[in-house]
Amino acid sequence: MRSFRRFAAIIAIAMLVSLIGGCGTGEQYSVEPQQVQWAEYIGDNDWPFLPKNIFTFDLYENGILLIESDGKYRVEIEGAHSPEQAVVLAGEYGKCYEVSFWSKTDKLRIARVNTDPRTLGEGSVIEYSADESVRYYSDKPGSDAFTSFMYVCREESEYLIIYTGEQQASLSIDERTMLQDSDIEDNWWIPSQYTGNIDGQGAYALGDYRWSSARVLAELYDPYAEKYPDYISKVYLGQDESKSFPMYGYIYEPEGYETTMFLTSGTHPTEETAYFALARFMQMVCDATADDILLYTLRHKVRFIVVPMINVWGVSQNHDGTAELPRSRIRYNISGGSLNQDFDDLSQQESRNVYSFFKQYAEDIDIAMDFHAADTSGKNGVTLYYNFINNTPNAVANYKTTNHMHHRFVELGYSPTNPNLSKIPGSYTKSSAYLEGRLWNEFKVPTITIEHVLHGLFPDAHSSESMSLAVEIFGNFIVQNALFFIANN
Ligand SMILES: [Zn+2]
C-alpha cells in the first residue's frame, strides 16, 4: 500500500513534467510528428502481469477546430493560426491507447473519424456523430484537471481528434497491449463448482432473487460465519435510513494476511445477480482447498472486508406483494435517494455506514471493488462494463482481466463477432458522489466498479448460465487484484 501510494505521487509529478515538456504551440498545418514521451514512472517494472508498455507515440498537430452541435461533431480545417489546439492520433488497428493530459474539460471534445484530417485542405469540414464509446474522465470537471480516457482503434483507418481547448495541452499516450487468446495465462480462475440459479428453483438453486436482504445474509453468509468462526466475523454497521433494516459487514481475516480488499454489492436492488454472485464467490473462498490454488491463496493471504448489502431497504421490498413500489423500480432507498451517488454528501444513513466502516480500515485497504449488474441494454452494448481508476499501478491487472474476460465471452459464444474490440469499454473515474470516486479522492485507494451486463446475453438473468459467468467475472477481478497486491506489498 505504501509503495503504491508513492507511485501515485510519482505519476502526478511525471504528468507535470510532461506538461512542461510537451507539445509546442499550435503552429498551423504542422504535419511534423512530435514525440511525446510518457514519463518513465514505473521504475524496474516488476509488476506481475505488466508488459513494458511505456511507449512514445507520434502526435500530429494541425489547425483543426472541433465544434459540437446537436450531437454532431464538426471538424473544420483552419487556415489561420488558432490559439486552440487539437491533435490527431492516427490509431493502429486493434491497439488500445490511454490518453492523459491536463485540460479544461468543459472545452474538451473528442471525435473518432475515418478521414485523415491532415490530408484535407483549408476550409474542409468533416461531420461526425459524437461517439460515446470514447469516454473520458476528469477529477475536476470544468477546471484545469487531469483527464484521461481509453481508446481502442477498431477500424483499419481511424483517427482520433482530441480538441483540448488549450493553447498548450500536453498529452501523453500510453499504448496498452490488447491480449489475444494465445496470451491468456493459466492463472485465470474458472469456477469449478456449479453456481446455481437464483430463481429458487431446482436442487442446485443458489437462492432466490426475491429474498430480503436479511434472508440473503442469513442463508448465504451467516452459515459460513458459523462454520469458520476463527476466519469470519460479522459486524453490525448500523440501521439504514428507514431505521428498520440493520446493515452488516463481514470480515474474512486469515492469520498473516498480506493484503486487504474492500468489497461491496447490493447498491442497486434490481441487480440481484451481483450480490448473489459475490456471495457465491465468498463461499467458494471460504471452502477453498489447495486443489484450487488461486482461491486457496486468497483464503490464506487476503483479508476481505465485505458489505454484501448496501441498500438493505430496497432489496427487502416487494417480496411479499405488499410493497408500494414494483420491484423493477426499486433502485433507491426509502428516501428515494440514489445511494450510488450519495458519497459526496453522505446524506443517507446507508452511505454513512459504508463510509465509516471503510474509514476504520482505510489505511490498510489496497483496493475497493463495488459489484453491480447492468440491467439495461445501454452501456454502449458492451458485454462487460467496468469503471476503474486507471491511473494506478494495479490498473494493468484490471485491463488484463477485462481483456481476458472479453475473450472468455467470445470463447463461450456470447459475443456476436470474434473478437470485437469495440466491446471493451473505456474506463474513467467518477466524482466523489460515487463510492469509488470518494474512496479514491479522499483515501487514494484504487477502486473498481464491475458490472455483469445481462441484456442481450442471457434471456434469463437469473439462470445458472448467467450466474456462473457473473461469478467468473467478479472472481477474476478479485483474484488478479489480490495477486497483484500480494506480489507488491
Ligand atoms: Zn448498479
Residue 216 is predicted with a pLDDT of 96
**Helices marked H in 172-267 — which ranges?**
213-216, 222-227
Question: How many A from CA of 125 to the centre of ligand 1?
Answer: 40
Last residue of a domain, one of 177, 198, 222: 177
Quote the cell numbers at residue 421: 474490440
* Residues 286 and 417 grouped into a single domain: yes
**Helices marked H in 78-228 — which ranges?**
213-216, 222-227
Question: How many A from CA of 67 to the centre of ligand 1?
Answer: 33
Which protein residues have a CB closer than 5 Å to ligand 1 (ion)?
268, 271, 372
- Is 482 within 8 Å of 259 (Cβ atoms)? yes
pLDDT tens sequence for the chain (489 residues) = 434 333 333 333 333 333 333 232 222 222 222 222 222 222 222 222 222 232 333 444 445 566 655 656 666 666 543 445 567 777 777 666 667 666 655 666 777 788 877 777 777 777 776 555 555 555 444 455 566 666 666 677 888 777 766 554 556 666 655 444 334 455 789 886 678 999 888 888 999 988 999 999 999 999 999 999 999 999 999 999 999 999 999 999 999 999 999 999 999 988 888 999 999 999 999 999 988 888 999 999 999 999 999 999 999 987 666 666 666 667 889 998 889 989 999 999 999 999 999 999 999 999 999 998 875 444 444 556 667 776 676 776 777 787 777 667 767 776 533 333 333 444 455 678 889 889 988 998 988 888 886 655 667 788 888 898 899 999 999 998 998 888 888
Question: How many A from CA of 50 to the centre of ligand 1?
Answer: 30
* Residues 218 and 164 grouped into a single domain: no
* Residues 315 and 457 grouped into a single domain: yes
Write the CATH number for 362: 3.40.630.10
Last residue of a domain, one of 156, 177, 198: 177
Report the C-alpha gap between 239 and 353 in whole angstroms: 8
The reply to whether 164 falls in a domain is yes
Question: How many A from CA of 75 to the centre of ligand 1?
Answer: 36
* Residues 225 and 152 grouped into a single domain: no
* Phi/psi at 475 (5° precision): -60, -40
The reply to whether 387 falls in a domain is yes
The reply to whether 187 falls in a domain is no
Report the C-alpha gap between 99 and 31 in whole angstroms: 20
The reply to whether 205 falls in a domain is no
The reply to whether 398 falls in a domain is yes
Question: How many A from CA of 135 to the centre of ligand 1?
Answer: 18
- Is 463 within 8 Å of 384 (Cβ atoms)? no
**Short-list 129, 203, 138, 126, CA closest to 169:** 138
Residue 159 is predicted with a pLDDT of 81
Q: At what angle do helices 464-488 and 395-411 cross, to 10 degrees?
A: 150
The reply to whether 31 falls in a domain is yes
* Residues 160 and 247 grouped into a single domain: no
**Hey, what's the torsion of the CAs at 412, 417, 419, 421, to 10 degrees?**
-120
Residue 348 is predicted with a pLDDT of 97
* Residues 262 and 158 grouped into a single domain: no
Residue 107 is predicted with a pLDDT of 65
Look-up: residue for cell 466523489? 432
* Residues 229 and 310 grouped into a single domain: yes
The reply to whether 193 falls in a domain is no
* Number of domains the chain is built from: 2
Residues whose CB falls within 8 Å of the CB of residue 226, separated by 6 or more in sequence, listed in order:
none
* Residues 232 and 158 grouped into a single domain: no
* Residues 323 and 413 grouped into a single domain: yes
- Is 104 within 8 Å of 144 (Cβ atoms)? yes
- Is 88 within 8 Å of 212 (Cβ atoms)? no
* Residues 311 and 380 grouped into a single domain: yes
* Residues 169 and 254 grouped into a single domain: no
What is the domain range of residue 282? 213-488
Question: How many A from CA of 374 to the centre of ligand 1?
Answer: 6
Last residue of a domain, one of 177, 198, 231: 177
The reply to whether 222 falls in a domain is yes
According to DSSP, the β-strands at 246-252 and 302-307 are antiparallel
Look-up: residue for cell 490530408? 119
* Residues 458 and 328 grouped into a single domain: yes
Question: How many A from CA of 376 to the centre of ligand 1?
Answer: 10
